[in-house]
Homo-oligomer: A and B are copies of this chain.
């Protein structure tokens, strides 16, 4: 199941302190935010309203920031307009996901579908999807929009896969990896890859950035899935144990199901079958998963993928000079493991 630990670097490179990293990232977030507002024009003001609700509700801007960093790391300042592609697409998937999951909360406030209705958010999601393509075709290099279509096609499959695996208590670790790759990692990978393409990088450089993003995305999602079992609703912005209550089978669960003593495994499966209805059963399952190292094992796996992300960057000819974007990208891979929301 999980990759052989021997295949991974032992220690992560963490060249930047957290404050130093923030000082580098925040200006990029501000640039991305400005572009997100400027591009969100439509002949239909209502579309701007619904889009703004989801986009300006405290997103981390990870994807636009990665696009800007990747382009700059390969020697060309990234166009903030194009950075918006990845946040629009991300917002589109969140809007549709929330309808599919019948979510009530998103980032600590009512989900857009609660505020505006399922019908509106389905259609505004479609609009944002198209909007991201209308930005991508501005780049006259066909590789750019091709990377986007490769990405969204896999994402589309991934969303369906995740739906099909809802309540699938037998989902394997490989199956889980396939789902989070498609639903999360390929978009983060595309942001890095398209930054490199935009900068006119060689195919080998583009591939290295893609691999960086893909592994970073896997680590990112694994941390997300671990936090679902340890965070509090307050810091995480949505109910804890939410995934299990929704029938989403993630690595913390899979690890305990596959490695805990027989009695604990049997009880976990029993709780999972019952757990959707009853909050106290979700709580018991959560405690069981934490006690049997489900969360720790997930963090360890995330750590391995973060290291793979860093290793991909070392394939680039240019070394990570102090103050360089390459250094920031390396630091981000380490930082992903530290986030608490």
List of B residues within 8 angstroms of A149 by Cβ: 130, 133-134, 136-137
Which B residues touch A122, using CB under 8 A?
96, 99-100, 122
**Which residues on B sit within 8 Å (CB–CB) of A157?**
42-44, 47, 127
Pairwise interchain contact B164-A46, C-beta atoms closer than 8 A: yes
A140 interfacial contact with B, CB 8 Å: yes
CB-CB nearest in chain B for A148 = B133
Identical copies in the complex: 2
Contacting B at CB under 8 A, from A109-142, are: 118-120, 122-124, 126-131, 133-134, 136-137, 140, 142
Q: How large is the interface on A (under 10, 10 to 19, 20 to 34, 35 or more residues)?
A: 35 or more
Interface: A77 (CB within 8 A): no
Q: Is A150 an interface residue (CB 8 A)?
A: yes
Query: Do the beta carbons of A146 and B156 come within 8 Å of each other?
Result: no
> Contact at A160–B127, with CB atoms within 8 Å?
yes
Over the window 141-155 of chain A, the binary record of Cβ atoms lying under 8 Å from chain B Cβ atoms (1 yes, 0 no) is: 010011011101101
Q: Tell me which residues across on chain B come within 8 A of A137, comparing CB atoms.
A: 142, 145-146, 149
- Which of A145, A155, A157 has the largest number of chain B CB atoms within 10 A? A157
Q: 1/0 contact trace for A39-80 toward B, CB 8 Å?
A: 000111011000000000000000000000000000000000
A residues 139-184 in Cβ contact with B at 8 Å: 140, 142, 145-146, 148-150, 152-153, 155-157, 159-161, 163-164
Cα(A40)–Cα(B131), bound, Å: 25
> With A46-B164, A122-B99, A123-B160 in contact, is A155–B130 under 8 Å at CB?
yes
Interface residue from B123, B153, B161 paired with A156 (Cβ < 8 Å): B123
Question: Quick check: A126 and B163 within 8 Å, CB to CB?
Answer: no
Q: How far is the CA of A146 from the CA of B136 in the complex (A)?
A: 9
Partner of A152, one of B130, B160, B164: B130
Interchain nearest-CB distance for A251 vs B (Å): 21
| Inter-chain contact A161/B127, CB cutoff 8 Å | no
Q: Which of chain B's residues have a CB closer than 8 A to the CB of A150?
A: 134
Give the docked Cα–Cα distance between A145 and B123 (Å).
21
> CA of A129 to CA of B131 in the docked complex: distance in angstroms?
13
Determine which of B124, B128, B133, B163 lies in contact with A120 in the assembled complex, contact meaning CB atoms within 8 Å. B163
**Chain A stretch 67-101: residues in CB contact (< 8 A) with chain B:** 93, 96, 99-100
The listed residue with most B CB atoms (<10 A of its CB), out of A119, A131, A142, A156, is A156
Chain B min CB distance to A187 (Å) = 12
Query: Complex Cα distance A241/B74, Å?
Result: 60
20 pairs, CB–CB < 8 Å, chain A vs chain B:
A44-B157, A44-B161, A47-B157, A96-B122, A96-B126, A99-B118, A120-B160, A122-B122, A123-B163, A124-B160, A127-B157, A128-B156, A129-B152, A130-B152, A130-B155, A133-B145, A133-B153, A134-B149, A136-B149, A145-B145
Which residues does A use to contact B, with CB under 8 Å?
A: 42-44, 46-47, 93, 96, 99-100, 118-120, 122-124, 126-131, 133-134, 136-137, 140, 142, 145-146, 148-150, 152-153, 155-157, 159-161, 163-164
The 7 closest A-B pairs by CB, nearest first: A127-B156, A130-B152, A100-B119, A133-B149, A130-B153, A134-B149, A123-B159
